[in-house]
């Protein structure tokens, strides 16, 4: 379903060894922002000079690390570094800036899915919540492909999404509203999407 080599980008709450190993085993790549208290080859990351560190030990796995150091963004100074499975020649600050676009969308939308305090819950719950969001996104993509082409409100929403006026999460929520989508559990325990139901 997802092509091998796809790059998954995560924030600091997702620096789990199991997640990194899982993605590597499936032929996927990852870029994960690191916290300031992380150790790279048994040295505190904030004590290392800026640059690229290839094949280093971090969280018990061997990966590459890009350290930008302290930067001021949106009027706030913070430490920026990421761990990745990508090869050295693909590491750059530009790659991290791509992640910032996702961060802006995530910041606006996480309240919709009660994702505000991810760092205070356990790994299974974090991954479970993201699975629900991912499945919801897939469902919306499927439904919009099946909707009549003449549905004017959905056409307008698609235009807004293309132009970057609304995020995908807001697009999904408004599609669910327009279609009056509800999920029901069948007698056999299957989840059944209902359109126009109460």
What is the reported pTM? 0.55
Q: What pLDDT does 147 receive?
A: 61
**CB-neighbour burial class of residue 29 (10 A; exposed 0-12, middle 13-18, buried 19+):** middle
Residue 103 reports pLDDT greater than 70: no
| Of the candidates 68, 20, 62, 61, the residue with the CA atom closest to the CA atom of residue 45 | 68
β partners of residue 77: 72
| Residue 195 banded pLDDT, cuts 50, 70, 90 | low
Q: Which residue has the higher pLDDT, 57 or 164?
A: 57
Residue 29 reports pLDDT greater than 70: yes
| Residue 45 banded pLDDT, cuts 50, 70, 90 | very high
CA 41/CA 37 separation, integer angstroms: 13
């Amino acid at each position: 379903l997802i092509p091998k080599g796809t790059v998954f980008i995560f924030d600091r709450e997702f620096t789990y060894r199991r997640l990194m190993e899982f993605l590597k085993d499936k032929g996927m790549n990852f870029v994960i922002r690191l916290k300031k208290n992380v150790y790279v080859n048994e040295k505190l990351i904030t004590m290392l000079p800026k640059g690229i560190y290839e094949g280093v030990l971090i969280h018990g796995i061997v990966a590459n690390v890009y350290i930008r150091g302290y930067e001021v963004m949106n009027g706030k100074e913070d430490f920026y570094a990421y761990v990745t499975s990508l090869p050295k020649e693909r590491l750059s600050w530009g790659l991290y800036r791509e992640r910032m676009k996702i961060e802006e969308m995530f910041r606006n939308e996480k309240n919709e899915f009660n994702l505000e305090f991810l760092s205070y819950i356990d790994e299974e719950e974090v991954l479970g919540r993201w699975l629900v969001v991912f499945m919801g996104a897939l469902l919306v993509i499927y439904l919009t492909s099946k909707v009549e082409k003449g549905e004017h409100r959905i056409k307008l929403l698609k235009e807004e999404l293309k132009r970057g006026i609304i995020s995908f999460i807001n697009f999904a929520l408004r599609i669910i509203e327009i279609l009056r989508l509800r999920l029901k559990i069948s007698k056999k325990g299957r989840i059944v999407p209902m359109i126009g139901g109460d």
